[in-house]
Amino acid sequence: MQTRRSRTEHWRDSLAEVKARGGTIECTLDGEEGGLTWRLRVWGLSEECVVVEAPTAFGHPLILDPGVRMRGTIAIGQNRWDFSTEVLSSHGDTLQLKAPSRVRRRRRVARTDLAPCPSGLKLRPLPSGVTGAAAERAWVALASGGEAADPALVRPVSAPPISVQLANIGVGGVGVIFEASDAALAMRRGGWWIEGDLPGGGTLVASAELVHRHMQSDRCLYAGLSFRIGAGQRQRRHLSKLVEEAAKRLQYSAA
């Protein structure tokens, strides 16, 4: 308990520790319908500001307006400390955040702290015979069909959907949380078909590959999924624009 209290009181030392080991902090844009979370590398620390890498959408930096409020999280081991901050400036690949006046230890890890998408994403495991190209053709058919398109007719898999929570999005993929009851399913290798609404608006439809995962203390499983992008650039441009627009809507609601 003394160690946790010490870290809470000396949060600046914890941030310096994260920076020294090349670590990241979570930065969240909150909105009424959820939020977007990025894990951003800490590049600098002063009395006035914390300098982190800029949030991105498929490798392209997102420019956030000065004054936009964000929520930061320092994670060390199983312990997390939250703080409120705001954007001071956003230039190229760097983002300057106002240094917090204090931090608050998170006493219980809840999914709402991970900026979930309230409507939930739906994941379906892709059969081994479904290639990335086949999944992209299905995406094109679905994206071109408008609101009248029936996803069941074009998605390349008929498996029952698994509901997950959206933890973060950007840099070419998503981080999701599987419920403890579904954690065993997430241990499989191979591709996944993703459908669902993003916080702030927009519908995500994509195929992805599970690239890393870890079990949380509540027995839920965090999984990082990398989007499968075909040879064509249409889907990449669409997904990049989708994430960028969601971030813009959230930053205006947070300002």
- pLDDT given at position 1: 46
pLDDT at 126 over 70: yes
Higher pLDDT, 7 or 4: 7
Picking from 114, 109, 96, the residue whose alpha carbon sits closest to that of residue 37 is 114
State residue 49's pLDDT score. 93
Task: Provide the mean pLDDT of the chain.
Answer: 75
pLDDT of 149: 55
Hey, which residues does 73 pair with through a beta bridge?
26, 82
Fill in the amino acid letter for 216. Answer: Q
> pTM for the full model?
0.55
Give the residue from 132, 119, 200 showing the smallest Cα distance to 161.
Answer: 119
Give the confidence band of 97 by pLDDT, cuts at 50, 70, 90.
Answer: very high
Q: How far apart are the first and last CA of the chain?
A: 36
Identify each DSSP E strand in the chain by its residue range. Answer: 24-31, 34-45, 49-53, 56-57, 60-61, 69-76, 79-91, 94-98, 104-105, 121-125, 162-170, 173-178, 191-197, 203-215, 221-227
What are φ and ψ of residue 249, in 5° steps?
-60, -40
In the prediction, which pLDDT does 89 show?
93
Q: Quick check: 116 pLDDT over 50?
A: no
pLDDT at 245 over 80: no
166: nearest Cα among 134, 208, 229, 132: 208
Q: Pick from 1-10, 44-53, 74-83 the range whose average pLDDT is largest.
A: 44-53
pLDDT value, residue 180? 86
Domains and CATH numbers, the chain: 2-110 (2.30.110.10), 121-254 (2.40.10.220)
Give me the DSSP letters along 103-122: -EE-SS--GGGG---TT-EE
For residue 251, give every residue at least 6 positions away whose Cβ sits within 8 Å of its Cβ, in sequence order, or none: 29, 64, 65, 68
pLDDT tens string 195-239: 877 766 677 777 888 887 878 778 888 888 888 765 456 666 777
Read off the pLDDT of residues 15-34 as tens digits, 9 standing for 90 and up: 888 899 888 998 888 665 45
CB 175 within 8 A of CB 165: no
